Amino acid sequence: MKRTCRVPGCTAEASSRYNPYCSNHKARLRRHGAVDQEGITATNLKPYLGKVRARVEKNRDNPAWSQLDGRWLGVVDHARTVIASYERGKASIRYEVKAAHEVVKVAQTVSPREVVEVVLSMFMMQELEPRRFRNDDAFRVQLTRRVRALANVNAGEFYDHRTNKTRRVYRELPSKAVAMIGYWLVQAFGAAGVRIARMEREDEERERNERLELYKALESLT
Whether 24 and 43 share a structural domain: no
Whether residue 119 is predicted with pLDDT greater than 80 in this model: the reply is: yes
DSSP letters for 44-70: HHHHHHHHHHHHHHHTTT-THHHHHHH
pLDDT attached to residue 157: 63
Whether 109 and 136 share a structural domain: yes
Amino acid sitting at position 63: P
Whether 4 and 72 share a structural domain: no
Whether 25 and 82 share a structural domain: no
CA distance 149 to 15: 29
Model pLDDT for residues 59-80, shown as the tens digit of each residue? 999 999 999 999 999 999 999 9
Whether 23 and 46 share a structural domain: no
Of 39, 52, 211, residue with least CA distance to 132: 39
Whether 11 and 88 share a structural domain: no
pLDDT attached to residue 123: 96
**Structural domain that includes position 198:** 39-219
pTM for the model stands at 0.84
Model pLDDT for residues 161-215, shown as the tens digit of each residue? 777 777 666 678 899 999 999 999 999 999 999 999 999 889 888 988 989 999 9
In total, how many domains does the chain have? 2
Angle, alpha carbons 96-100-104 (nearest 5°) = 175
The crossing angle, in degrees rounded to 10, of helices 136-148 and 94-109 is 50
